Amino acid sequence: MREHEREAMTFADREVVPERRMHAKGSGAFGRFTVTHDISRYTKAALFDRIGNECETFVRFSTVAGKRGAADAERGIRGFAVRFYTSQGNWDLVGNNTPVFFHRDPLKFPDLSRAVKRDPRTNTRDPENSWGFWTNLPESLHQVTIIMSDRGIPKSYRHMHGFGSHTFSLVNATGERHWVKFHHRTRQGIQNLTDAEAAEIIGADRESHHRDLYEAIERGEFPKWTLYVQVMPEADARNYRFHPFDLTKVWRKADYPLIEVGKLELNRNPENYFADVEQAALTLANLVPGIGVPGVEPDNVGRWAEQPWYGDPGQVVGSVADHFDFREDDDYFQQPGDLFRLMDEEQRRQLFENTARAIKGARRETVERHIANCGQADPAYGAGVRKACEAIGAL
């Protein structure tokens, strides 16, 4: 085979890589982050050492459970991952458009992945697989309530918030640690789709979110978000009303108000989608001061030399180390109930009807279990879901 033919075949073989297990379908854009408020008292990261600092950024948005060919306007979580190209290296803030998640225990993630994917026997989505998993894991109700609400289908990537979701740490120049939650709040305003609106859009355009983002940037309508943090002193974590690392709960803003940090603007589309977006590999392991990097140290050339500035201060961990999934806290329903009680009549109607359509096809015992969980959050929540399920024959 001639050399150019060999190169052509090699390029074709490597042009497409296996899709991600989750977040397979994504869109991305480049932009700039600008610091607008001083948080240097909380962190020694060079990006935040003064107002006016800037850095280039890249954001990858994604649907979560669907394959590359899935429709953008399906109900579910959206990924929201930001890479900051800082003077100290890449900082990746990887999260979703919801502030909570389905479970507390990281070992449950492979189970969640299987539950929301296609059934191995039928090769179709099976409501029993996902709802059977969620209803037997009652802390998932908070996330399920958000997904089944009007916010379950964002109108576009531009019209949704983004969250780091997990609890992170900030360490300042004196070694003082604070716990932190990151919030990207859209400056375009929250806009969502009903099931009927989404179905109409999907029938005409399965790439609706991607197209909207690309065309808005091409028009010069650059999407913007404001970055905020909630900051908790390290000592508060011991006595807070629930475990501050519990990913199924939010910190109340009355306890820890939002503090503005900076502005994120996306203003440039990728030149090569495969190279810039598909091959992007954002990871929580990409952190600036406070986390070290791998390598061999010492060596003869000074590479990977130890840098104490990048180390976090030690923590008191006690005498017993074991798998930890917060089972001592069985308050699964307070926050989903609080969220439900914030909804107006129309939002509640959408929640009931969206839930009924989504759960239809699951076993009766699964539907009853979900109704019971909703009822523990608020009796009206359970009653509304039951009535909607009965109306369409889901129960």
- Which SS3 state, helix, strand or coil, does residue 338 take? helix
Contact 244, 233 (CB under 8 A): no
Residue 334's alpha-carbon distances to 86, 112, 250, 378, in angstroms, are 39, 23, 11, 9
- DSSP type of residue 362: B
Burial classification of residue 303, based on how many CB atoms lie within 10 Å of its CB (0-12 exposed, 13-18 middle, 19 or more buried): exposed
* Distance (Å, whole) CA 346 – CA 224: 29
96 is catalytic: yes
Ramachandran bin of 350, using left for φ above 0, alpha for ψ from -120 to 50, beta for the remaining angles? alpha
Question: Which two structure tokens, joined as six digits, stand for 92?
Answer: 């990746």
Pick from 180, 189, 141: which is nearest to 161 by CA? 189
* Distance (Å, whole) CA 93 – CA 90: 10
* Distance (Å, whole) CA 164 – CA 300: 39
DSSP 228-256: EEEEEEGGGGGTSSS-TT-TTS---TTTS
Catalytic residue of the set 4, 23, 97, 129 = 23
10 Å Cβ neighbour count for 265? 16
* Distance (Å, whole) CA 111 – CA 221: 40
Catalytic residue of the set 37, 53, 90, 96 = 96
What's phi and psi for 183, nearest 5 deg?
A: -130, 120
- The runs of H, that is alpha helices, within 239-344 are 273, 334-342
Active-site residue set: 23, 96
